[in-house]
């Protein structure tokens, strides 16, 4: 037999795990699997059935209604006036908008928070400082475009997902909860304050609004500021 040739009988049986190739072996070498770059805030991380890659997905499509006829796990509800929002939601919305009006990124930092309650800024994760990341989202070097987008999103109408349940969340703009093919002329004008007509056609082809949206929980925590599908 030529030197260095491996014989079949020298190979371990198939049922024998190859050293270094079991989950425990791999973890001892490279450490535990990495967690998400951005810890997903409650309730998205803790509630069963919710998709961490899509915080707008509604779990439990069971059509069950609770007292008052509000949907639970069903279709989102289009909201009304800003004054109808819970006071903590109104306060957080206004603080975010004021920081955007003032072009004050540092005023956003305490609103974004940290740890488990940190605002989700990306569906795919990111590294580094959240304020630097938000600036980098902008089309201009100063970061003012993304602040204008944030302001305009929160000036639009809102939708309520899972109203009256532990998963309740208020989401701007309400276009996330509407069919883009069924918008009225007035609603299309409102939409074009956020996106171009080309963006609109692309989203119609995709089947949903996928531009920037903001979510705030009833207790006034800023849950997410993300774009994409």
Q: Outline where 75-196 has alpha helix (H).
A: 87-101, 105-112, 130-137, 144-155, 185-191
Tokens for 94, please give them: 């206004």
Q: Tell me if the pTM is above 0.85.
A: no
Angle CA 107–112–113, to nearest 5: 110
What is the predicted pLDDT for the residue at 63?
34
Asked whether 121 and 38 are in contact (CB, 8 A), the reply is: yes
Q: Across residues 63-72, what is the average pLDDT?
A: 31
Phi–psi pair at 169, nearest 5 degrees: -150, 145
Put residue 89 in one of left, alpha, beta given phi > 0 → left and psi -120 to 50 → alpha.
Answer: alpha
pLDDT band at 185; cut points 50, 70, 90: very high
pLDDT band at 50; cut points 50, 70, 90: very low
Percent of the chain with pLDDT over 90: 59
If one compares 32 and 88, the residue with the highest pLDDT of the two is 88
What is the predicted pLDDT for the residue at 159?
96
Phi–psi pair at 122, nearest 5 degrees: -155, 145
Query: What distance separates the 2 farthest-apart alpha carbons in the chain?
Result: 86
What is the predicted pLDDT for the residue at 125?
82
Torsion angle defined by CA atoms of residues 18, 20, 24 and 30, in that order, rounded to the nearest 10 degrees: -160
Position 127 pLDDT exceeds 80:
yes
pLDDT band at 46; cut points 50, 70, 90: very low
Hey, which residues does 225 pair with through a beta bridge?
A: 214
Asked whether 203 and 212 are in contact (CB, 8 A), the reply is: no
* CA-based nearest residue to 160, from 148, 178, 147, 183: 178
């Amino acid at each position: 037999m030529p030197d260095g040739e491996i014989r079949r009988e020298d190979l371990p049986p198939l049922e024998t795990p190859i050293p270094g190739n079991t989950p425990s072996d791999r973890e001892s070498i490279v450490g535990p699997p990495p967690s998400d770059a951005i810890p997903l805030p409650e309730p998205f991380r803790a509630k069963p059935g919710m998709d961490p890659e899509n915080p707008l997905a509604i779990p439990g499509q069971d059509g069950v209604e609770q007292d008052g006829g509000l949907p639970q796990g069903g279709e989102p509800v289009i909201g009304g006036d800003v004054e109808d929002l819970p006071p903590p939601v109104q306060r957080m919305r206004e603080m975010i908008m004021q920081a955007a009006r003032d072009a004050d990124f540092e005023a956003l930092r305490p609103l974004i928070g940290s740890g488990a309650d940190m605002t989700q800024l990306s569906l795919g994760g990111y590294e580094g400082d959240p304020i630097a990341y938000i600036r980098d989202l902008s089309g201009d070097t100063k970061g003012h475009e993304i602040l204008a987008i944030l302001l305009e999103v929160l000036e639009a109408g809102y939708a309520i997902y899972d109203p009256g349940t532990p998963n309740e969340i208020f989401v701007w703009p309400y276009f996330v909860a509407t069919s883009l093919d069924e918008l009225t002329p007035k609603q299309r004008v409102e939409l074009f304050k956020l996106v171009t007509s080309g963006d609109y056609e692309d989203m119609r082809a995709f089947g949903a609004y996928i531009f920037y949206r903001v979510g705030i929980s009833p207790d006034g925590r800023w849950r997410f500021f993300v774009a994409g599908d």
